[in-house]
């Protein structure tokens, strides 16, 4: 199995998180992060960051904004 | 007890959209409202990702749905309806952004140097809710996403919040898949770095020294640990 350095591992962070890449690549990444504390922290905290962001459901449409959208659409939809 | 009827053919994602599109094209204009309800959040977020402020995003959201309604007959069904709509939203938003008097396009090279090297190596808390309320986390997350440079913000919102595939997000933004992935990686690392202040576990002196020893493997760190009695 190919040994990867931290730079290569970081370049493949998204592959790992998104479940992409070959089995061989994932094995090499897992092997590296099992023995490299820093990369392990980066991988783990990036996963936690994504969970925090998706759980937070940012940028909901404010009610007033939604109401104005429907008012405008009402005009368009009732056009003959 | 009533049993849930079996659904041998559950609807595919986007299948409902096609039924609604057909109804609108067949003269049922009210079906368009259902499409708006399903997709208004995404259109708003995408517009906000490109423009960075809610006022412009609101106008773009309205213009996007008006345009989609008027040009619905041009929807070719090669892509999902949501992707087609997202593309309209991105184009509307980019058009608006480019007409701003003070708009200066951000060159990728200006922000890419050195961004791939993380600087924070403390582990993160497992339960951030123990420290912050839901509203506070919501506010922090929005603030940090807004602070991203636009090319990274767009990639991050489309891929990690709206869940578009890399191919869809690249197509919507008019960039290649490798370019999209490169921006996304930087965006994720920037988000991690910026949010670290709030979500890292508080470092203890002991852990700091242990990490220093592990990371650097230096005799100095070992001496510090011995001096501290560990």
Q: What is the pTM of this model?
A: 0.83
Please tell me whether residues B218 and B164 are part of one structural domain: no
Q: Please give the residue range of the domain that contains residue B183.
A: 126-199
Q: Do A49 and B192 touch (CB under 8 A)?
A: yes
Which pair of tokens denotes residue B72?
Answer: 């619905």
pLDDT tens profile B86-139: 999 999 999 999 887 677 666 655 555 445 689 999 999 988 888 899 999 999
Q: Do B44 and A59 touch (CB under 8 A)?
A: yes
Q: Do B41 and A10 touch (CB under 8 A)?
A: no
pLDDT of residue B226: 65
Query: Quick one: CATH architecture of A6-77?
Result: Orthogonal Bundle (1.10)
Question: Cβ contacts of residue B91 below 8 Å, gap of 6+?
Answer: none
Please tell me whether residues B149 and B160 are part of one structural domain: yes
Please tell me whether residues B148 and B165 are part of one structural domain: yes
Domain layout of chain A by residue ranges: 6-77
Q: With an 8 Å Cβ cutoff, is A11 touching chain B?
A: yes
State chain B's mean pLDDT as an integer: 85
Q: Do B192 and A58 touch (CB under 8 A)?
A: no
CATH of the domain at B140: 1.10.10.10
Please tell me whether residues B210 and B184 are part of one structural domain: no
Banded pLDDT at B4 (limits 50, 70, 90): very low
- The interface pTM score, or ipTM, of the predicted complex is 0.93
CATH of the domain at B22: 1.10.1740.10
Per-residue pLDDT of chain A (80 residues; tens, 9 = 90+): 667 899 999 999 999 999 999 999 999 999 999 999 999 999 999 999 999 999 999 999 999 999 999 999 999 888 74
Please tell me whether residues B85 and B130 are part of one structural domain: no
Q: With an 8 Å Cβ cutoff, is A69 touching chain B?
A: yes
Chain A residues whose beta carbon lies within 8 Å of the beta carbon of residue B122: 41
The total number of structural domains in chain B stands at: 3
Choosing among B121, B125, B165, B208, which should be mutated to test the A contact, i.e. which has the most A CBs within 10 A?
B121
Q: Do B128 and A50 touch (CB under 8 A)?
A: no
**Of B98, B115, B142, which residue is a domain's last?**
B98
DSSP annotation string for B110-169: HHHTTTTS----SPBPS-GGGTS-HHHHHHHHHHHHHHS-HHHHHHHIIIIIS---HHHH
In a domain, B105, yes or no: no
Please tell me whether residues B187 and B230 are part of one structural domain: no
Please tell me whether residues B36 and B85 are part of one structural domain: yes
The nearest alpha carbon in chain B to A36 belongs to B215
d(CA B109, CA B121): 26
pLDDT of residue A1: 61
Backbone angles phi, psi at B200, to 5 degrees: -70, 150
């Amino acid at each position: 199995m190919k040994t990867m350095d931290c730079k290569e591992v970081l370049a493949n962070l998204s592959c790992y998180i998104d479940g992409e890449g070959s089995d061989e690549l994932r094995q090499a990444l897992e092997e590296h992060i099992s023995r490299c504390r820093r990369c392990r922290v980066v991988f783990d905290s990036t996963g936690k960051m994504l969970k925090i962001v998706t759980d937070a459901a940012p940028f909901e449409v404010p009610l007033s904004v939604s109401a104005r959208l429907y008012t405008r659409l009402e005009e368009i939809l009732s056009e003959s | 007890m009533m049993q849930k009827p079996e659904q041998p053919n559950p609807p595919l994602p986007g299948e409902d959209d096609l039924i609604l599109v057909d109804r609108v094209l067949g003269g049922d204009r009210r079906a368009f409202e259902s499409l708006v309800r399903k997709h208004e959040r995404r259109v708003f977020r995408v517009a906000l990702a490109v423009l960075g402020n809610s006022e412009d995003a609101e106008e773009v959201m309205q213009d996007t749905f008006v345009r989609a309604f008027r040009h619905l007959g041009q929807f070719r069904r090669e892509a999902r309806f949501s992707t087609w709509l997202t593309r309209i939203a991105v184009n509307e938003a980019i058009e608006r952004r480019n007409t701003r008097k003070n708009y200066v396009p951000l060159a990728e090279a200006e922000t890419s140097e050195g961004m791939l090297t993380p600087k924070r190596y403390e582990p993160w808390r497992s339960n951030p809710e123990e420290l912050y309320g839901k509203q506070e986390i919501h506010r922090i997350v929005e603030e940090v996403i807004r602070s991203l440079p636009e090319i990274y913000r767009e990639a991050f919102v489309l891929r990690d919040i709206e869940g578009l595939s890399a191919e869809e997000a690249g197509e919507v933004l008019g960039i290649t898949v490798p370019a999209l992935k490169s921006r996304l990686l930087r965006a994720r690392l920037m988000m991690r770095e910026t949010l670290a202040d709030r979500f890292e576990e508080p470092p203890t002196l002991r852990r700091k020294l242990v990490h220093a020893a592990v990371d650097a493997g230096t005799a100095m760190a070992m001496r510090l640990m011995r001096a501290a009695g560990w």
